[in-house]
């Protein structure tokens, strides 16, 4: 799936992504400011999360419950120096839990990523729009 959108269309884009039935582990690639966290917030909302969502930059992972009592994890591995830090926090257990796992900066933990995963790449396009590729 490839789509160009503006940030005010983010909720519709989140639904389109979910309609594609991606793997529950999704890696988000894109430069800082591309909209990775904003899209993850929209996905969590579409999955039924009513809590306030935010970037887990300092905590590394935020855990949310949706209206069906399912768990959704949002990771931000930007600050990791080694994969060992991710193992120490139990990242492998989260990633193989069967729950939704949205991962920013997954390139910091390449050997921990499950084989079954989807990738969303976001880049900034003309007129402050975003280009998204789901694979």
* Tokens 């890696």, located at residue: 27
Distance CA 49, CA 71 (A): 9
Q: Total domain count for the chain?
A: 1
pLDDT for residue 30: 95
58-108: per-residue pLDDT in tens? 678 999 999 999 999 999 999 999 999 999 999 999 999 999 999 999 999
Its domain, for residue 115, covers 2-134
Q: Give the residue-averaged pLDDT of 21-49.
A: 96
pLDDT for residue 58: 67
**DSSP 8-state code for residue 79:** T
Cα 41 to chain centroid, rounded:
9
pLDDT for residue 1: 95
**Is-above-0.85 flag for pTM?**
yes
Q: What CATH number has the domain bearing residue 41?
A: 3.40.50.300
Distance CA 132, CA 135 (A): 10
- In DSSP notation, 5-36 reads E-GGGHHHHHHHHHHT---SEEEEE--TTSSH
pLDDT at 57 over 80: no
């Amino acid at each position: 799936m490839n789509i160009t959108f503006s940030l005010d269309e983010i909720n519709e884009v989140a639904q389109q992504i979910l309609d594609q039935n991606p793997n529950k582990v999704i890696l988000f690639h894109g430069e800082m400011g591309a909209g990775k966290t904003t899209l993850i917030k929209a996905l969590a909302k579409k999955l039924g999360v009513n809590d306030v969502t935010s970037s887990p930059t300092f905590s590394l992972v935020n855990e949310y419950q949706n209206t069906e009592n399912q768990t959704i994890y949002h990771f931000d591995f930007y600050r990791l120096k080694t994969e060992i830090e991710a193992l120490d926090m139990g990242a492998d257990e989260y990633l193989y839990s069967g729950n939704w796992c949205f991962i920013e900066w997954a390139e910091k933990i390449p050997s921990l990523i499950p084989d079954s995963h989807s990738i969303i790449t976001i880049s900034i396009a003309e007129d402050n729009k975003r280009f998204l590729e789901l694979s």
